[in-house]
Amino acid sequence: SLDDPSSTGHEQVVFCQDTQTGLRAIIGIYSTALGPALGGTRFYPYPSEEAALADVLDLSRGMAYKNALAGLDLGGGKAVIWGDPDQLKSEPLLRAYGRFVESLNGRYYTACDVGTYVADMDVIARETRFVTGRSVEHGGAGDSSVLTAWGVFQGMRAAAEHVWGAPTLNGRRVGVAGLGKVGKHLTRHLLDDHAEVVATDVDPRAREWVRANHPQVELVDDAAALVAADIDVYAPCALGGALDDDTVPALRAKVVAGAANNQLAHPGIEKLLADRGVLYAPDYVVNAGGVIQVADEIEGFNFDRARLRATRIYDTTRQILRLADDEGVPPAVAADRLAERRMADVGRLRTIH
């Protein structure tokens, strides 16, 4: 609990303040067992410091698991800047934040998250070396949604193989909820694989993009209509909490695999999905292509190398689904076990000499 910080298992939590610029940030380092902690900076108007702390503790832990399963030599961390980015964000504030990141001497690498952008990383980089997700002009990896979508497609192939026997979406009907940066790329991969795509987005511009570029894609009114549609695979690519007590009973798909973070509205949903015979490919496993893309930048960005790493999400997802069957647990539990095993086994090596 928050009353007893040692109970959360984090290595380090750093509170940062710069009164001049209004900066209030919290950097959470869950684990450096596999290497420096990597995770983005969320700039968000939290209602309270307690809410900001709860979020950073949760997100940094999630990054440790995601990075471990992505096969990266990186631990898990995350940062939050508490405030309204529209009002507060400035060069001095970002640079003040960058100095705090630098002060951790490489125990934490930052990147983009909700409320922060590539251009912000370029500003932060004027104060610290420990920042990734920078602009292409600065040697950065650019838009991480490219490999996020590629990785989701790979995870979806593994799930399709597990359920239907062949690692392809050929002939399947796939419902894509959210045609943003990731959803657009994913739609293209699915069409290339000869899937039928049914999609939805609240933004009329996104719907217009589909009509203009992929007229064969069927558009439905909203996510509820997509859930109830006759689809084989459901791919949540909009916001978190897509799978809840209302959507799961209505879901007709046999597989859920998508980019959105935190797709399960609460822990009980896992069992609800399993009881309905729906295979859920854990979000943090299949959406790791983005972090793989920005992590590659630390070595000097090479797109082909990063793409190859993201392609391995197919193997990891397959391994997790098999482990889940063998151990009789939901895929998300199997994923956690695999991540914990790697952190323990490889992390141990890093402490013996």
Q: Which active-site residues does the annotation give?
A: 78
Which of 31, 67, 116, 144 binds ligand NAI (CB under 6 A)? It is 144
Residue selected from 116, 287, 316, 317 as contacting ligand NAI according to rule CB under 6 A: 287
CA distances from 279 to 229, 320, 322 (A): 17, 12, 12
Give the containing element (helix H, strand E) for 174: strand 173-177
Q: Does 40 bind ligand NAI (CB under 6 A)?
A: no
Judged by CB under 6 A, which of 156, 256, 259, 324 binds ligand NAI? 259
For residue 17, give the nearest of 74, 68, 62, 82 by alpha carbon: 82
Q: In what order do the strands lie in the sheet with 233-236?
A: 218-219, 196-200, 173-177, 233-236, 255-256, 279-280
CB of 9 to K ion, least distance (A): 4
Q: For residues 153 and 146, is the Cβ–Cβ distance under 8 A?
A: no
187 is a contact residue toward ligand NAI (CB under 6 A)? no
Residue closer to ligand NAI, measured from CB, 82 or 150? 150
Nearer to K ion, 39 or 140 (CB): 39
Q: Is 98 a residue that touches ligand NAI (CB under 6 A)? A: no
- Give the H or E element holding residue 343: helix 331-349
Candidates 120-128, 189-197, 232-240, 318-326 — which segment interacts with ligand NAI by CB under 6 A? 232-240
3-state secondary structure 49-75: HHHHHHHHHHHHHHHHHHHHHCCCCCE
Q: Give the interface size with ligand NAI as a residue count (CB under 6 A).
A: 24
Q: Site for ligand NAI (CB under 6 A): which residue of 206, 217, 313, 339?
A: 206
Whose Cβ is closer to ligand NAI: residue 202's or residue 265's? 202
**Subset of residues 145 to 184 that bind ligand NAI, contact rule: CB under 6 A:** 145, 148, 177-183
Per-residue tokens: 15: 């509170």
Handedness of CA 209, 210, 214, 216 (dihedral sign): negative
**Residue 259's binding partner out of ligand NAI, K ion, none, with CB under 5 to 8 Å set by partner kind:** ligand NAI
Bridge partners for 15 per DSSP: 26
Q: Which lies closer to ligand NAI via its Cβ, residue 133 or residue 331?
A: 133
Interacting residue ranges for ligand NAI, rule: CB under 6 A: 144-145, 148, 177-183, 200-203, 206, 223, 237-239, 259-261, 287, 290
